């Protein structure tokens, strides 16, 4: 698939945007550097790591209030696209779609298997360039992704543009971050062709990659891992949840033609499974979780096709772990079907989970992100990092931090 024509407009707008950031920061630095030096306190030695003291690369803030200035036509075009509300949006349906996620939150978080995503070899090669897949990095990346999901499902106001909602802001952050990573990788590949092969893997984070990513977040809640664990969404729930991610895809500048109906979405997902799920060596590594290796293997094999599990070299896990995974499925099935049968119970659970998941994943300082992040350009692609950095397996039980 030739993705270059599809990305020409996106490259132009994003190229102007990246240049604008550099110019605006240079101008402001020249104006303030003398004052800053004059009044700067005496620097004291710091015990913080270079990563902690590195400047934040916020890709969102410079666009606010500058897109309508003279000479910023491309920046204006980008901003207008990112803040346009399509005619097909039904806000009541979007609200219902957000609630669907929390109705099945427990099983949804296990259904969105890392293994399935790592099976897309081309996407994995792109992900490896900025930061690799060390246990620490993979865990942080997983939590950042979960923060985005929690923000776009937090409330209807969170994704309404005129309310400047956190879900809409984070979606634009992600869109701009993807543009910066794409530009950086292509620049390095032009200087050193062995760093990344666009002819083999495609333009980084192209339209097909973006479609596959949206499919991972949305359609994997519906097919096939959910039925594989005994949960079958109602037809209306399926349509509502896909409608939610139809809107998120629009914010992310992802093609949305295949998300207009559940039938088209299903067909698109099946096509991606056939054409894109081809694991590479880069995608293999230690998963960032505290459960035992055997249980993680059992879960991955249960949720994914045998061919994909074999391609990753997952070992046979035995009947004991089979029974554990089966019991987990029975447990979530019981919860899911019971709560959705009683509207008041379902609403009570949704309200509590919205607060609990955000507290555990985003606000927890010991085991979560510690605070809300803005999707800064933290991990810069460079020539020294082109593959995984797997962590060592630790067969110990750790405190989860959740009481």
The answer to whether the CB of 151 falls within 8 A of the CB of 160 is no
Are the CB atoms for 111 and 303 separated by under 8 Å? Answer: yes
Per-residue confidence (pLDDT) for residue 384, from 0 to 100: 57
Number of neighbours of residue 223 by Cβ within 10 angstroms: 19
CB 226 within 8 A of CB 232: yes
The pLDDT score that the predictor gives to residue 329 is 86
**What is the residue-wise DSSP string for 325-384?**
HHHHHHHHHHHHHHHHHSHHHHHHHHHHHHHHHHIIIII-TTTS-SS-------S---TT
The DSSP annotation for 80-106 comes to: HHHT---TT--HHHHHHHHHHHHHTHH
Going residue by residue through the chain, which has 403 residues, state the pLDDT in tens, using 9 for 90 and above. Answer: 444 444 444 544 454 444 444 444 444 444 443 443 444 344 444 444 444 444 455 667 666 666 667 777 888 888 888 888 999 999 999 999 999 999 988 777 665 545 455 556 677 777 777 655 556 677 777 888 889 999 999 999 999 877 678 999 899 889 988 888 898 889 988 998 888 888 888 899 889 889 988 988 888 778 877 887 888 999 999 999 999 999 999 999 999 999 999 999 999 888 887 887 666 666 555 444 455 677 777 777 777 766 767 776 776 667 888 888 888 889 888 888 999 999 999 999 999 999 999 999 999 988 888 888 877 656 566 655 555 444 443 333 333 333 3
* Structure-block tokens of residue 142: 């997983």
Tokens linked to 258:
């295949």
CB crowding 352-369: b at 16 or more within 10 Å, else e: ebbeebbebbbebeebbb
Nearest one of 167, 176, 162, 177 to 101, comparing CA atoms:
167
Asked whether the beta carbons of 103 and 96 are under 8 A apart, the reply is no
Instruction: Identify the pLDDT of residue 246.
Output: 96
Residues in the chain: 403
pLDDT confidence of residue 135: 60
Residue 218: closest CA among 373, 104, 362, 87: 104
């Amino acid at each position: 698939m030739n993705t270059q024509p599809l990305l020409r407009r996106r490259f132009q707008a994003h190229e102007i945007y990246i240049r604008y950031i550099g110019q605006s920061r240079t101008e402001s630095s020249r104006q303030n550097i003398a004052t800053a030096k004059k009044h700067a306190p005496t620097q004291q030695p710091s015990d913080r790591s270079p990563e902690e003291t590195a400047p934040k690369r916020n890709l969102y803030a410079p666009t606010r209030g500058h897109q309508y200035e003279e000479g910023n036509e491309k920046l204006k075009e980008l901003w207008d696209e990112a803040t346009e509300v399509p005619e097909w949006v039904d806000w009541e349906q979007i609200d219902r779609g957000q609630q669907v996620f929390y109705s099945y939150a427990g099983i949804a978080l296990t259904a969105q298997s890392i293994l399935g995503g790592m099976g897309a070899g081309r996407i994995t090669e792109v992900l490896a360039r900025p930061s690799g897949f060390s246990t620490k990095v993979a865990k942080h990346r997983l939590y950042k992704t979960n923060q985005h999901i929690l923000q776009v499902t937090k409330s209807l106001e969170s994704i309404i543009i005129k309310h400047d909602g956190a879900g809409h802001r984070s979606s634009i952050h992600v869109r701009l971050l993807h543009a910066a990573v794409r530009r950086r990788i292509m620049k390095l590949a032009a200087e050193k062709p062995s760093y990344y092969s666009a002819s083999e893997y495609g333009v980084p984070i192209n339209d097909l990659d973006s479609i596959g990513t949206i499919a991972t977040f949305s359609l994997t809640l519906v097919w096939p891992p959910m039925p594989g664990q005994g949960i079958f969404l109602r037809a209306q729930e399926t349509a509502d949840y896909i409608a939610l991610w139809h809107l998120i895809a629009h914010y992310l500048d992802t093609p949305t033609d295949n998300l207009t109906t559940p039938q088209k979405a299903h067909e698109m997902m099946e096509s991606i499974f056939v054409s894109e799920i081809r694991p590479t060596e880069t995608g293999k590594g230690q998963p960032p979780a505290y459960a035992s290796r055997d249980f993680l293997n059992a879960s991955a094999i249960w949720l994914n096709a045998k061919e994909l599990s074999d391609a990753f070299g997952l070992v046979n896990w035995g009947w004991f772990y089979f029974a554990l995974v089966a019991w987990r499925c029975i447990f979530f099935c019981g919860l899911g079907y019971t709560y959705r049968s009683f509207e008041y119970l379902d609403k009570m659970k949704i309200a509590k989970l919205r607060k609990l998941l955000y507290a555990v994943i985003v606000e927890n300082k010991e085991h979560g992100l510690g605070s809300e992040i803005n999707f800064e350009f933290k991990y810069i692609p460079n020539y020294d990092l082109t593959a995984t950095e797997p962590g060592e397996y630790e067969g110990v039980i750790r405190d989860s931090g959740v009481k």
